[in-house]
Structure 1
Amino acid sequence: MSTHIRDTRKRLGMTIYDLADKLGVTAGAISQMERSERDETIQMSTLKRALKAMGADLSTEAQDAPMAAKHLLTARTAAASMERELAANDEDTALRIAIQSLDHFRRARTRAEIQDFLRTPRPIGDDRWDTLLATAIARDAKRRGIRPPAWTRKPALTEEWLPATPGHPAERYLDMIRAAAEPELLDKGILIREKDLAVA
C-alpha cells in the first residue's frame, strides 16, 4: 500500500480541491486516485501525472519515508535517535530504540517500505552500537528472506559487550547470557538473548 499522492499533497499543504484544479478534474476524481493508490489498483501513468502536477516524481517520492508516514522507525531514524540518547548517556533508551526498530522493520510490508527501512544510516559513532543495530537488522532481514544490505556487514567487536549494562557483571551472569545469546550477535561479541530483542 502506498500513499504518495496524499502524502505529497499534505506535505505541500494542498487540499483535494487544489490538486483537482491543477489536474483539471473533480475533487471526487482526486479522492478516487488516492483510494486506488492505497488499494494498489492505480495506473502508473495516473500516479505519475498526479505527482508531476505537484512538482514531484515517482522516484523522489519513493525515496521519501513511507515508514515515517506510518510513524515507524527506519534504520536511519533509529541510528540518529540512538546517537542522541547515547550523547545523553542513556544506554537503556538507546537499546529500547534498537529493539523497537526491529519491531518496526517487521511491520514493513511493501517493497518501498522495506527499501526505506534498509537505507544506509549515518554511523552512531560507537562501534558497539553500530554493530548491534546492523547485525540485528541483518539477522531479521535473513529470516524474512531479504538480502541484508552491505552496510549491515560489521566486523566482530574486539571485546565482548553486554549492552546497557553498567559496571562489570559477574562472570557467572555473563556465562548465563552467553549460553542463551543470539548466535549472530554472539559471533560479533554482543551478549544479548532473543527474548531481549523483543518489544515488551
Structure 2
Amino acid sequence: MKQHAPATERNRGPIAEVLSRELPASGTVLEIAAGTGEHAVFFAGRFSGLGWQPTDPSPEALASIAAYRDEYAGGNLAEPLLLDAAEPDRWPVVAAAAILCINMVHISPWQATEGLFHGAARLLAGTGGPLILYGPYIEQGVETAPSNLDFDASLKARNPAWGLRAADALDALADQHGLRRTARYALPANNIMLIYRII
C-alpha cells in the first residue's frame, strides 16, 4: 500500500527551508500531485500550524498517502483527495492559503501545468498566498546540467508529452493568469524552487 520515493528523504529538508520562508502563518496548504505522501507527512509535521491537504490523480498514490496518514500522529493532515491538475474547474477544493507542487510539471502533459496555474489563480486570489513549484527546469542563461539533459531525454522516451519545461514558459503562463514569479531558489541535485504570487 505504502509507496516509497528515495529522493524524498534527500530533498525534503532543503524544500522545507524554502517553505519556512514562503508559506503563510496559517491556513491550508494544497499539495498538488502529492505522490507517495511522504512529503505531505513530513511537511505537515514540520509546519504544524498549517493544515495540509494532499491530492493526486492516481488511485495508487492516494492509497499510499492514506497509509502514511494513518501513521501520522498530528491532526493537521487531511485525507487525500482525487485531483487532476489538468481539470482545474473540477478541483474538489474551493480555497487554499498556498499551493505546493513538487516534481509534477515535467512528468505530466503541458495541459496539467496550464491547469495548475489556472486553478492556482482562482484559489489564491485575494489571499496573497504563493504557488510553489519544485523540480528541474531549463533556464535561459543557466547551463543545464548533463544529468538533467539525460533525465529530459528519458522522460520524453517514456512519454513525448513529458519533459523538462523552460522557466520562461512558466513565467509566461503565470502572466496569463495574473501571477508573477517573486522568487527563485537553487536547491541540491540541480533542482530549483519557483515562487509565484498574484500580481
- Asked if TM exceeds 0.5, the reply is no
- Give the TM interval when normalised to the shorter protein: under 0.3
1 or 2, which has the higher helix percentage? 1
Normalising by structure 1, we get a TM-score of 0.25
Higher gyration radius (CA): 1
Q: Comparing both chains, which one has the higher relative contact order based on Cα–Cα distances under 8 Å and sequence gaps of 6 or more?
A: 2
Q: Which has the higher strand share?
A: 2
